[in-house]
Amino acid sequence: MSLVSSTEMLKRARKEGYCIGAFNVHTMEMLQAVVEAAEEAESPLILQTTVGTVKHLGPEYVAAIAKVAAKSVQVPIALHLDHCHDYELIERCIQAGYTSVMIDASMHPFSQNVEQTKRVVELAHRSGVNVEAELGKVGGVEDELVVAEEDAVLADPTECEEFAVLTGVDTLAPAIGTAHGMYKGEPKIAFSRLEQIAGRVGVPLVLHGGSGIPEEQVKRAVALGMAKMNVATELRIAFSDAIKQVFGENPQENDPRTYMKRAKQAVKAIAQAKMAMCGCVGKAAGQ
């Protein structure tokens, strides 16, 4: 199969009450691991790269690898650019073959967020590319994005409704108390706020900060309208810990194929667990 836009797969997920895992990958091995997990689970998949990863690898390299991966399996795969503020980089990723992009202007006033998002929507929709945006401020650290806990702001349900209408955005990531990175304690998701937003906004909603959220909370969020869950930090930790374990067992190891194999297995296991948690196992059929 070719890479597909995530728009239709996410609409179906919200309609049918499940969530699609969106996994941030930083190497070819991480990408291969989550693709293998999706194929075995017969699950639709969203591959994601941060701005830092795109700058490190180049969008053309990432898109080329993702296209090869998509052709090798029978499950639908979308390629998403996460948390980007740069219009030119978004444009370059679309030209390279990305099928979904996130314009994150949530740090700006509402009107400016609307203006910047509309501009990206106009660009992306010419190529059938999904657009995600954010309202409120999700706390934590992801690449160059740093939002202190005290600066995190929950999304306003009325603004979410107005924003979706004004921008024509395909998916919306409302801040509801989750955070990027691993949680120091129990996540404090504002489920009542999520329920209000879901009641006003018809487009699929996105749960950022999916690493470390307990299964019962994930399932509750999905039941209320979350159709996409981002997972990043858990994958990086699993990948790195597996490599450390190899060198702990054999400090003289110098074959990347040996330690990357172990790292791939670790990432694949996390991805499979998240897919089961999201309820998207077996949902590739008919897409």
> What residues are designated binding site for Zn(2+)?
83, 104, 134, 180, 208
Active site residue 82: yes
The answer for residues whose C-beta is within 8 angstroms of residue 258's C-beta and 6 or more apart is 246
The answer for residues whose C-beta is within 8 angstroms of residue 99's C-beta and 6 or more apart is 3, 4, 5, 6, 78, 79, 80, 128, 129, 130
* The one-letter amino acid at 77: I
**Burial class of residue 155 in the structure, from the number of CB atoms within 10 Å of its CB (0-12 exposed, 13-18 middle, 19+ buried):** buried
Residue 103 three-state SS: strand
Please report, in range form, the residues annotated as the binding site for dihydroxyacetone phosphate. Answer: 181, 209-211, 230-233
Q: Could you tell me the two tokens for 70?
A: 């998509």
Catalytic pick among 82, 151, 156, 255: 82
CA distances from 57 to 50, 52, 104 (A): 11, 9, 21
Q: Catalytic amino acids?
A: 82
